[in-house]
Structure 1
Amino acid sequence: MDQMRKEAREVLQRDPWNRPGFLRAAFKATAKNGLPELWQDVSSHDSTVHLDVCENLYTALCFVDGWDPLLPNDGGPKQLDRNETEAVKNLFQWASQLALPSSAFAAPWTPASACTNKHVEIKDAQEESRLRSALAIQLILQLSAKAPPGLSDRSIASSPDVVLAAACFTEQKDPWTTEDSHDEASMYLDVTMQDGKWDLIARLLREKIRPLFTKAKNPSITSEGRKNFHPVPLSRFDGSILDDAMKPWKFRDVYATRVLSWIISRYKPTDKAHLEAHFPLLVPAILALIDDDNLTFKRMGCELFSKILQPIHQSGSDILVRTNLTSVFEDAITPCLLSLPTITPEDSSIRLLSAAYPALLSLFKTVYKTPSPKKSKDQNAKDRETYTAKISKILRSNLISSFHHISSSTPTAISTSASFPHPRLSTFLLEWITTFVKELGISTTKYLQEITPVLYTTLTNPFGTAHPPLLLAAVSTTKFVVLNAHPRIWRWRGEILGALCACWLYVVGEKEDQGKVKAGKGSPSVTELAKITRELQSTVYVLKHTLQNPVAVNGEFDADQLLAKDGMQQELQTLAEADSELEALLFADVKS
C-alpha cells in the first residue's frame, strides 16, 4: 500500500490531469490486500489537505481498478462477506462526500475582483475541487462496476448520497464539471436509474434537496407544499433574509440547483402518479429560486418551473388546481417582468424575461386553456374566459407598458419621435406581444387602441433600419393583429397603412444609400432589408384582403366599414400618387 501511495503522490505532483489509470504497485497491493484493508488504509490517512485527499482518492481508484471481483476459473462473482460489504459501503459514502463541488463556486465574479489575491485563492480552490470531484466520480464508477454483483444488498451502490454526487455533474456547462466527470457520472446514472427508481428520487428530494431550500420559510405555502390561505407576513426587519446560512443552496451547497434540474428532467407524461406525489417536495425549491434577489437564480427558477409544467400539462394532471398553487406561482413570477432598464441591464433583463414570460404562459395554458374531461362544460368555458383575462392582463400591464417604459414614446398618444435605446429588448417584447396576440385570437380587437401606438411608433422610427430585427418584429406583430382583429381593423387602417408606408420608404432610402456608399460596419445587410420588404408587402396584402372582405356583426354590416371597403382602392391610389415608391408596396403581387 505504501509503495502505491508513493507512486500516486508522484503522479499527482507531476501532472494531476494526465495521470495513468493504473499504477504498477497496485498489482502487489491487490494481491496481498482486500477491500477491508483498503478502507482501513484510506481512513487512516484521512486529511483535509488537498494533495493528501487526492492521493487517497487516486490510491483507492487504482486499487479498485486492479481488484478482481471474480472467482478463479470463471467461477462467477465473489460473494462479499460482511467486512467487505462494510468496506464497499464506506468507500461509496466517502467518495460521495468528496465528489460534491466546493462552496468556492458560489463566489461571485466581477471584473474588479479579477486580479485580487482573493480571486486567485478562489480560482485555486475551484481547480482543486474539480480535481477531487473528478477522482471521486471515477472511483464511484469503478466501484459500481465491480462491487454490486458480489453484494447481497445492491442498493449500497445506489444510495441517495451516491446518486446525489453523480447528479451534480449532469451538465457540462457547470464550472465544477469536467468532460470526464460528466461522462462518468452519466454512465453511472444511466445504469443505476434504468428502472426509474422513484423511491430513490423521493428520498433524494425529501432528505437531500428539500431541506436545503426550506430553512428560509415561504409564507405563501404550507409545510405540505400547498397554498397557505392564512399566511403570516414576514417581519419588515427580519434579519434572517441577510443570513447566508438560510440559503445553503446558494452559498454552500452550490450543486443543489443542478441536482434539482436533473430530477425534474426525469419526469415524463407517463409518470403522472410519481410526479404528483413528488410535486409538494419540488414546490419550495422552485419558489425559493424565483423569489431570490439574484437574477440568475430567478431565471433558473422560471426555467425549472417551465420544465416541470411540461409533463404536468401533457399528462392532464390537475395538481396545480388541487394544491391551489396557480396564484402562488403567478404572484412569484409576475414581479420578474419588472426587471427592466435602466435599473436592470438590458442583457440581464432579456435573459430573465426570456424565462419568465414562457413560464407564465405555460402556467396559464396548463391550468386554464386545455379542456378537462373531469370538468363540466360550463367550468371549461369559465376557464377559457379566465385564460383570456390572464393573457390580456399580461399583454396590457406588462408587455405594452414595458415597451413604452424602455422607449421614449408616450403610451397615450401616437408620436413619430419615438426612440429605442434598448433595441434588442424592444424586439424581444414585440415578439412576445405577437405570441400573446396569437393566444388572444379575436379578443385582440378589444386592445387595438393600446397595440396600434406600439406598432406605429416602431414602424415610423426613421432610424429603425439600424436594427432590422426590431422592424421585422413590428411588421410580424402588425400582420397578426390584422388577422386576429379583422372585424374592427378598418377603424385603424389609416394608422396601420401610414406606419407600413413610412417603414417602406425608410427601407427604400436605406437601400439607395447603400447603393451609393459602401455599407459600413453595423449597417443592415441586403438580405435583412429584402426580408423586411417582403414582410411589408405581405402585411399590406393581408390588410387589403381584410378591408375587401368586411365581417357582419350581429348579422349587419357597419356603414362606415362598407365605405372603407368601397374607398380602399382610391385611398391606396392616392398614397401611390403621393410617392411613386409606394406602388411596389401597395400593389405587389404577393401570391406570385
Structure 2
Amino acid sequence: MPIIEELSDSNDDNSSSQPPPHHVTSEQQASAALDKALHIVRDEAKPIEARYHEILLQLTPLEIYFPSAPPRTVPAFEERILTLLRPHPALVPSIASIDDDDAKETSPALSLYHTLSVKLLRLLKPHTLTPTVDFALTVSSLTNPDDAFTSTEASTIAISLLNSNNPSRYPHDIVITGILKDTIKPLFTHRTVSATRITPAGRLAIRDTTANADLIVDNLPWSTTLPSVMAVLEWVISTGLTDADLETAWPLLIPPILSINDSHVIKLRTRGIGMITMLLKRLEMAKNDLLRRTGLGGVLWEAVERGLGYFPPLTAVKDCVAINRKATECLRLMARVREPEETERRAALLDRIVREGFVKGMVYAGEKLELVEVLVNGLNSVIEDMGVWAVRHLQAVLPLLSEILGNPFGTTYLPLLHKTLQAEQTAICTCWPRLSEHVPELLHGISACWAQILEDEQVPRMNQTKKQDLDALKTELRKTAAMVEAVMIALEKSEGNEASARWHEIKRSVIEVDPGFEGLFEGA
C-alpha cells in the first residue's frame, strides 16, 4: 500500500512556542484540505478548469506538511488522493475528434491537471505492503504520456510507484478480479466484428456470429466511465500480470483489446495493435502456446493486418506512419509466435506483409517520404525474417526500390536512400542463390542514385556537411555494388564462368554510359 505519512503535530519544537488558542494538528489541516478539494472537484456547476485551479490552491499547504510528517500510515489520505488523481472525463477529447488534429478538443484544464497530478503522485509513497485495487487502477491510469491527461513527468512518477512493488505483489484478486473482471469487463459489452468471433472463454467461436456485430459504436462506455482504460490495460499486460496469470487473464484481455482495435478511430486502433504486440511478447518470452491452443491466431492476424490499409489522402500521413509501423512490428512478431519452428509457414504469413504493406503502400505513398521510409524499413525487417523465401518477392520489390534510388530529388532526404540501400543489401544477403536474374535491376537503382550524386557535386561552394553526407552515401553504393559482384562470383561455382563473365559485361556497359560510373565499382 502507498504509505501516506501522518503529519507532525504540535510536538514539533519549531512550532510549539506559540500554540494557537484552538490548536488544529497538521494532520487535521491536511485532511480538511483534501476534503475541500474533493468537494470542489465534484461541484459540476463550475467549469472543470475553475475546479482544478481552486484545488491547486487548496493543496499548496500539503507540500509543506507531508515531507515532515512522521512515518505512520494513513489509509484515508491515500483514498482521497487517489480519488483526486482519477482523470476527469472532461479532460479527454471526444471519440469523434481524436483523429482530427485541426478540430481536436483540448480542455483548458489539462495544464492544471498535469500540475495537480504530479503534486498528488509525489505525496504517495512506495508501498511496502500489498497495494489496493484502487491504487493499481488509478496510478496505472497515468503511465502513458500519449494520453492527453498524462504528462511525461507524471508518467515517470507513476511508473516508479508501480515498479517499487515486485510484480508478484499484485495478486490475482487485484489484477484479475479487481481490474480486469470487475472494472474493465463491464465497459466492453458492445460486440465488434472481431469480438463476435471469440467465445467467453477466449477461444475461436465455431459458429460465425459476425452478423450480430455492432458495426458503428460511437458512444463507448469506457470513454466516459474510465477514459484511462487503455493505459491501464497496457500496464496490466506489460507489467501487472505474472506469467502464471496469463492464461487466466486471456479471456478477460482479448475482448477489450479487439474492441479497441476494431475502432474506426485510427489512433485508438494503433493503441490496440500495440496492446496485441505487448501480449505476444509475453507469450513469446514465456514460451506459451496459448495462441495456438485457443485458435485465435487468424482472428488476431486479420485484426492487425487491417492496420496496413491506411494511406493518404484519406488518412493523415502521421497517422499512416504510426499505424503501419505498429502493425508491421506486430505481424512480424505474430508470425514468430504462430510458427516458431516452421519457417516456410511463417514465410507464408510474412508474404502478406510484403504484398499488403510495402507493395500496395508504395502505390499510395507517393512523395510522402516519411511514409515511404517506414514502408522500406518494414520491408527490410520482413526480408530478414523470411530469409531465402523472400526471393519470390524480388521481381515486385526491386523495381520499387530502384525507383526510390533514382528519384531526381532523392538526395534532398538522404535517410530514405540509406534505408533503401540497407533493404537492397539485406535482399542480396538473404536471396543471393537466386539473385543472378535481378542484377540488372539492382544496378539500375544504384547507378541512377550515383548519377544524381555526381550531379549534386557540381554545385559550387557545396556545404561541407552536405558533401560528407553524400560521400557516406557513395560508400554505401560502392558497398552494394561490391556485394553484387561477390554474389556473381559465388554463383560462378554453380554456373561455370557464365556468371562472372556476365558481371564484367554488365559493369563495362554501365561505365561506357558515363566514365563517372567507374567510381561506383572501386573495390568491386
TM-score grouping bracket, smaller chain normalisation = 0.7 to 0.9
2:451 alignment partner, SS class: helix
1:589 alignment counterpart = 523
Q: Is residue 326–residue 367 contact of structure 1 (8 Å, CA) maintained in 2?
A: yes
Q: Residues 27 and 422 of structure 1: is their aligned pair in 2 closer, same or farther, counting only changes over 3 Å?
A: farther
1:369-384 matches, within 5 Å, as: 370-371=340-341, 383-384=342-343
Residues 259 and 573 of structure 1: CA distance in aligned 2, closer, same or farther (over 3 Å):
same
Paired residue for 1:213?
188
CA distance in 2, matches of 1:26, 1:391: 78
Partner letter of residue 397 of structure 1?
E
1:87-486 counterparts in 2 under 5 A? 92-107=78-93, 108=97, 123-127=107-111, 129-130=113-114, 133=117, 137=121, 141=124, 158-171=131-144, 174-177=147-150, 182=155, 185-186=158-159, 188-193=161-166, 195-199=168-172, 200-203=174-177, 204-216=179-191, 218-234=195-211, 241-244=216-219, 247-266=220-239, 271-368=242-339, 370-371=340-341, 383-407=342-366, 421-486=367-432
Matching residue within 550, 553, 560 for 2:491: 550
Per-residue deviation, 1:428: 1.7
What is the alpha-carbon distance in structure 2 between the residues aligned to residue 65 and residue 549 of structure 1?
72
C-alpha distance in structure 2 between counterparts of 1:165 and 1:216, whole Å: 27
Give CA-to-partner distance per residue, 1:349-382, whole Å, 9 cap, x none: 11111111101111111121x23xxxxxxxxxxx
1:511 alignment partner in structure 2:
457
Q: Distance in 2 between matches of 1:430 and 1:337?
A: 13
Q: Alpha-carbon deviations, 1:92-131, whole Å to 9, x = none?
A: 44443332101122224767658xxxx6xx6344355446
Query: Which of residues 30, 41, 51 is equivalent to 2:25?
Result: 30
- Paired residue for 2:14? none
1:570 maps to 505
Distance 1:45 1:395, change over 3 A: closer
Show the counterpart of 2:434: 488
Q: Bigger CA drift: 320-329 or 298-307? A: 298-307
In structure 2, the CA distance between the partners of 1:213 and 1:527, relative to structure 1 (3 Å rule), is farther
Asked if structure 1 preserves the Cα contact closer than 8 Å seen for 2:325 and 2:378, the reply is no
CA distance in 2, matches of 1:539, 1:45: 66
Match of 1:374 in 2: none
- CA–CA distance in structure 2, aligned partners of residues 464 and 449 of structure 1: 22
Residue type of the partner of 1:258? A
In the alignment, which residue of structure 1 is the partner of 2:7? none
Q: Which residue of 2 aligns with 1:376?
A: none
2-structure distance, mates of 1:129, 1:40:
17
Helix, strand or coil at the partner of 1:549 = helix
CA contact (8 A) 1:225 1:283 kept: yes
Cα offset for 1:294? 1.4
Matched, 1:497 2:468: no
Give the corresponding residue for 1:531.
Answer: 472
Tell me which amino acid in the other structure corresponds to 2:298.
Answer: S
Structure with larger RCO (C-alpha < 8 A, sep 6+): 2
> For structure 1, which runs of at least 5 residues remain unmatched after alignment?
1-23, 71-76, 78-87, 149-153, 372-382, 408-420
Amino acid aligned to 2:507: L
User: Are the aligned partners of 2:436 and 2:499 in contact in 1 as well (CA < 8 Å)?
Assistant: yes
Partners of 1:503 and 1:231 lie apart in 2 by 52
Distance 1:259 1:536, change over 3 A: same
Aligned partner of residue 457 in structure 2, secondary structure: helix
Q: Residue 412 of structure 1 corresponds to which residue in structure 2?
A: none
Q: CA deviation at 1:484?
A: 2.1
CA contact (8 A) 2:477 2:520 kept: yes
**Partner SS for 1:307:** helix
CA distance in 1, matches of 2:33, 2:424: 74
Q: Displacement, 1:191?
A: 4.5
CA distance in 2, matches of 1:529, 1:224: 58
Cα distance per residue 1:149-194 (max 9 Å; x no partner): xxxxx76xx3212321122223456443457755664564345556
Instruction: Call closer, same or farther: CA 1:267–1:567 in 2, change over 3 Å.
Output: same
The AA in structure 2 aligned to 1:386 is R
For the residues of structure 2 that align with 1:41 and 1:527, how far apart are their CA atoms? 61
Conserved 8 A contact 1:444-1:485: yes
CA contact (8 A) 2:491 2:499 kept: no
Distance 2:132 2:190 in 1: 24
C-alpha contact (below 8 Å) 2:34/2:80 kept by paired residues: no
Mean CA deviation greater in 500-509 or 469-478: 469-478
- C-alpha contact (below 8 Å) 2:405/2:446 kept by paired residues: yes
Residue by residue over 1:216-262, the C-alpha shift from the partner in whole angstroms, topping out at 9 and shown as x without a partner, is 452122222222231322458x58x3441xx2333442211111122
Q: Secondary structure at the match of 1:487?
A: helix
Which amino acid counterpart does residue 96 of structure 1 have in structure 2?
Answer: L
- Using a 3 Å threshold, how does the CA distance of structure 1 residues 59 and 445 change in structure 2: closer, same or farther? closer
Q: Percent identity?
A: 20
Q: 2: distance between equivalents of 1:574 and 1:55?
A: 79
Q: Is the 2:402–2:441 contact (alpha carbons within 8 Å) kept by the matching residues of 1?
A: yes
Separation in 2, partners of 1:111, 1:342: 15
Could you tell me how far 1:195 is from its partner in structure 2?
3.9
In the alignment, the residues of structure 2 paired with residue 201 and residue 124 of structure 1 have an alpha-carbon distance, to the nearest angstrom, of: 33
**Matching residue's letter, 1:123:** S
Q: Letter of the 1:259 partner, please give it.
A: V
Instruction: Look up the SS of the partner of 2:408 in the other structure.
Output: coil
Report the CA distance between 1:396 and its aligned residue.
2.2
Q: Partners of 2:137 and 2:442 in 1: how far apart? A: 57
CA drift at 1:512: 1.8
| 1:186 to 1:453, Cα distance in 2 relative to 1, 3 A | closer
- Asked whether the equivalents of residues 237 and 279 of structure 2 are also in contact (C-alpha less than 8 Å), the reply is yes
Q: Structure 2: state its 5+ residue gaps.
A: 1-18, 44-50
CA shift in 2, pair 1:192/1:578, >3 Å: closer
2 CA distance for matches of 1:45 and 1:161? 16
Q: CA deviation at 1:27?
A: 9.9
Alpha carbons of 1:26 and 1:340: their partners in 2 closer, same or farther (altered >3 Å)?
A: farther
Contact 1:170–1:182 (CA under 8 A) maintained in structure 2: yes
Q: How many residues align?
A: 489
The answer as to whether partners of 1:101 and 1:130 remain within 8 angstroms in 2 is: no
What is the RMSD of the two structures over their aligned residues, measured on CA atoms?
3.7
Q: SS where residue 303 of structure 1 aligns?
A: helix
d(CA) in 1 for partners of 2:91, 2:492: 62
CA distance, structure 2, for counterparts of residue 180 and residue 479 of structure 1: 41
Distance 1:492 1:93, change over 3 A: same
